[in-house]
Amino acid sequence: MVSENTLKAVNEAIESAPKRKFTESVDLIVNLKNVDLSQPKNRITESIVLPNGRGKATKIGVFAKGDLAIKSQSDGADLIISPEDIDKMSGDKKLIRSTTRGIDFFIAEAPLMPSIGKSFGPILGPKGKMPDPVPSSADPGPLINRLRRTVKVRSKDKPTFHALIGNLSMNVEDIAANVEALLNTIESRLENGRQNIASVYVKTTMGPAVRLM
């Protein structure tokens, strides 16, 4: 059951946003307190599955060959990169950037990870987009579907970070449920839970921020 306070904040953020000619995203802004983010172990780095999805297309890339590549393509992966492609792109950072641009998440056949790390790591690593390894015999369908509802949250060394929680094509109740799912995960990662959160705001891409807590 979503709280009235969350519903109210989400609704106010949506209602106060000026009307635009595109579908705006809805974001959560989280401000932490009393957390030493100079220590990497204290930073938030989470892939969180939103119960009602992102409200927008999520693009999935797969590094694979053979059956896993075929299954991934059948399951709707947006980009398939074969071992031969990895070899061809090795050392060409411009080509790697252009090929992977716009892809939100990657998965990879586990044996390919060393070569992916060497060639693609310098590009994907800093963006937090290194692939999740899977066995060659894996069924990629469930993982691809899960990633389509996933957002990656990274605080890095800053006390303030943003997280996508939906967009204006979704109803208020679904966005509010996403808010609470995301906050519950973040709180579970903090040493003192909610006490380590200074404030939380909801806003659309171009709209004003509305305080939730």
Write the pLDDT tens digit of every residue in 93-150.
999 999 999 999 999 999 999 999 999 999 999 998 999 999 999 999 999 999 999 9
List the chain domain ranges.
4-55+151-211, 60-147
Angle between helices 172-189 and 4-15 (to 10 degrees): 120
| Mean pLDDT to the nearest integer, 61-81 | 96
Query: Considering the domain 60-147 in this protein, what is its CATH number?
Result: 3.40.50.790
**pLDDT exceeds 90 at position 199:** yes
pLDDT digits (tens, 9 = 90+) for 134-189: 999 999 999 999 999 999 998 889 999 999 999 999 999 999 999 999 999 999 99
Q: What is the mean pLDDT of the chain?
A: 94
pLDDT at 159: 94
Residue type, 73: Q
**pLDDT exceeds 90 at position 21:** no
Residues 150, 178 contacting (CB under 8 angstroms): no
pLDDT at 123: 95
pLDDT at 113: 97
HEC string for 129-147: CCCEEECCCCCHHHHHHHH
**DSSP classification of residue 157:** T
What CATH architecture does domain 4-55+151-211 belong to? 2-Layer Sandwich (3.30)
pLDDT at 56: 83
β-pairing verdict for 25-32 and 197-204: antiparallel
